[in-house]
Amino acid sequence: MLGVSAAAAAGLWAWSRWHPLSFWYGVAFPVRLVRVYLTWRAVASGCKLARTKRAWRVTLDAIPVVGLAARSAASVVEQKRRVRRVSVEQAPRLGLMLPTPYGWRLRVRLHDGQVPEDYVKAAERLAHSWRVHSVRVLKHKPGRITLLATRRDPLIDVVAGGGPADLLVVRPGVLENGEPWVIDFRTVPHWMIVGATQSGKSNLANATIKALAPQPVALIGFDLKGGVEFTPYAPRLSALATTRKESVDLLEDLVGEVEQRMAVCREHGARNIWKLPEALRPVPVVVLVDEVAELFLMADKSEKDEVAKTGTALLRVAQLGRAFGVFLIICGQRIGSDLGPGVTALRAQLSGRVCHRVNDPETANMALGDLDPAALEVARAIAPETPGVAVVAGQDGTWHRARAEYVSESEAEQAARDFSHLAPSWADLIGRLPDIDAA
């Protein structure tokens, strides 16, 4: 008997090692499911999600029998039914619990008077009770929520989903729910990527360059940190600005290009470049800006005009670019209004948000402010030991914890070299001689 149990245990252990996913679906999840349902009343009560209700209950009370018989046998008692009002703890009703590769989803019907925020507040307690990495309140219809439990952090070792991507789609890494992290510029055209130093901004830029390099798109870089970040990718860039003067000229060209595209669209009765006949459709342009503050900071008053021009041009590109195939990725340690008057308006155009670890809560607030407060909590909890972990939000208001795959500079450089033949020259792109040196 002992031998059979030992063999079964060894078999299960080997299964869990050999194919963890099928083990999860076949063995571990059913065990968890039974435990979650059986312990739910105690867990809900411990997490302060149950409510106390007064109810009528039938109880069996022991009544000593007084009388002759009782005098002769002191211990005679009689059981009597009584109806009493008692307090009972009632846990919220659970719906179906469904497995995911990293945990499970569980529907919960809210008690009257409860709001999803009650569950957001209780999420950490629930995670401890269920012995999982995290519990997130996913989506809610009136009166219902879905809890997503994640057993272990899928962002520890990140490998981005491979395979060819559609045009203007980048899959830099994974989301906390195990799904691929998808940046689709045609859905969310402009992105703001913030984070303290060494938080993973440049890594995400590397991942983006590596993913876009094989696609028929033009890439443009603004790198006012002296060009150290983007110069190695110059073979795949159609233009690169590394000084303020170059930036002003390049942005002017870019605005001119957008206006030209607008005129073509108007002529053909198209609302955007995707509605143009294929032969006329201009190549999409993805603009990467590293450390945007450098574009706005001025050493002295003489630079004021240039800074103002830069701000206005960037804002115009952002406003018009989405329809005419010019997309922005703007990185910075903070992109606050202290940088200049145009920055708040620019930020409003950047509907895609990626907030890495930040040093001050205001930066997280600025990046994720109008989202669920839980997103801010999660962003503030990102540890320095996990660079690349970020809170990612698209324009539909949903947010995720995510992490890009590690992409070294040399990998991105290699991709830039391998696909250099796909880089249209800036002169060809804008149809005239460039003001600045094309890369």
Ligand X SMILES: Nc1ncnc2c1ncn2[C@@H]1O[C@H](COP(=O)(O)OP(=O)(O)OP(=O)(O)O)[C@@H](O)[C@H]1O
**Least distance to ligand X from the beta carbon of 371, Å?**
21
Residue with tokens 């983006």, as numbered in its chain: 208
**Least distance to Mg ion from the beta carbon of 47, Å?**
41
Binding segment (CB under 6 A) for ligand X, from list 29-37, 111-119, 368-376, 399-407: 399-407
Say which DSSP state 28 is in: I
Q: Token pair for residue 85?
A: 């009002």
CA separation for the pair 325, 312 (Å, rounded): 19
Contact partner at residue 388 from Mg ion, ligand X, none, CB < 5 to 8 Å by partner kind: ligand X
Binding segment (CB under 6 A) for ligand X, from list 193-201, 248-256, 263-271, 314-322: 193-201
Which CB atom, from 202 or from 351, has the smaller least distance to ligand X?
202
Q: Which residues in 135-164 contact Mg ion (CB under 5 A)?
A: none
Binding segment (CB under 5 A) for Mg ion, from list 139-147, 200-208, 292-300, 319-327: 200-208
Binding segment (CB under 5 A) for Mg ion, from list 50-58, 198-206, 234-242, 346-354: 198-206
304-324 helix and 244-267 helix, angle to the nearest 10 degrees: 30
182 contact partners, CB below 8 Å, separation of at least 6: 169, 170, 171
Task: Please give the single-letter amino acid code of residue 374.
Answer: A
CA separation for the pair 81, 62 (Å, rounded): 9
Contact partner at residue 198 from Mg ion, ligand X, none, CB < 5 to 8 Å by partner kind: ligand X
Burial of 361 (0-12, 13-18, 19+ CB in 10 A): exposed
**Least distance to ligand X from the beta carbon of 155, Å?**
9
Give the phi and the psi of residue 222 in degrees, each rounded to 5.
-120, 115
**Least distance to Mg ion from the beta carbon of 132, Å?**
33
Q: Which residues in 368-387 contact ligand X (CB under 6 A)?
A: 387
388 binds ligand X (CB under 6 A): yes
CA separation for the pair 199, 334 (Å, rounded): 12
**Least distance to ligand X from the beta carbon of 181, Å?**
11
Instruction: Provide DSSP, 144-201.
Output: EEEEEEESS-TTSS-----SPPPTTEEEEEEETTSSEEEEETTTS-EEEEE--TTSSH
Binding segment (CB under 5 A) for Mg ion, from list 199-207, 294-302, 398-406, 410-418: 199-207
* Residues 120 and 372: beta-carbon distance below 8 Å: yes
Contact partner at residue 302 from ligand X, Mg ion, none, CB < 5 to 8 Å by partner kind: none
Which CB atom, from 370 or from 385, has the smaller least distance to ligand X?
385
**Least distance to ligand X from the beta carbon of 160, Å?**
10
Q: Token pair for residue 340?
A: 């200049």
Element spanning 239, H or E: strand 237-241
Binding segment (CB under 6 A) for ligand X, from list 79-87, 109-117, 131-139, 190-198: 190-198
**Least distance to ligand X from the beta carbon of 188, Å?**
20
Element spanning 78, H or E: strand 77-90
Strand extents, DSSP E, 37-76? 51-64
190 binds ligand X (CB under 6 A): no
The only residue of 134, 146, 177, 202 in contact with Mg ion, by rule CB under 5 A: 202
Closest residue to ligand X, judged by C-beta, is 388
Which CB atom, from 367 or from 404, has the smaller least distance to ligand X?
404
* Residues 199 and 334: beta-carbon distance below 8 Å: no
Contact partner at residue 197 from Mg ion, ligand X, none, CB < 5 to 8 Å by partner kind: ligand X
Contact partner at residue 203 from Mg ion, ligand X, none, CB < 5 to 8 Å by partner kind: ligand X
Say which DSSP state 26 is in: I
**Least distance to ligand X from the beta carbon of 200, Å?**
3
Task: Please give the single-letter amino acid code of residue 341.
Answer: P
Closest CA to 367 of 400, 403, 335, 407: 335
Which CB atom, from 15 or from 406, has the smaller least distance to ligand X?
406
**Least distance to Mg ion from the beta carbon of 337, Å?**
22
**Least distance to ligand X from the beta carbon of 410, Å?**
12
Task: Please give the single-letter amino acid code of residue 301.
Answer: K
Strand partners, 99: 104
Strand partners, 136: 148
Question: By rule CB under 6 A, what string of x and - marks binding of each residue 400-429 to ligand X?
Answer: ---xx-x-----------------------
Q: Which residues in 195-234 contact ligand X (CB under 6 A)?
A: 195, 197-203
Number of amino acids touching ligand X (CB under 6 A): 13
**Least distance to ligand X from the beta carbon of 360, Å?**
15
CA separation for the pair 389, 364 (Å, rounded): 13
Summarize as ranges the residues that interact with ligand X (CB under 6 A): 195, 197-203, 387-388, 403-404, 406
Summarize as ranges the residues that interact with Mg ion (CB under 5 A): 201-202
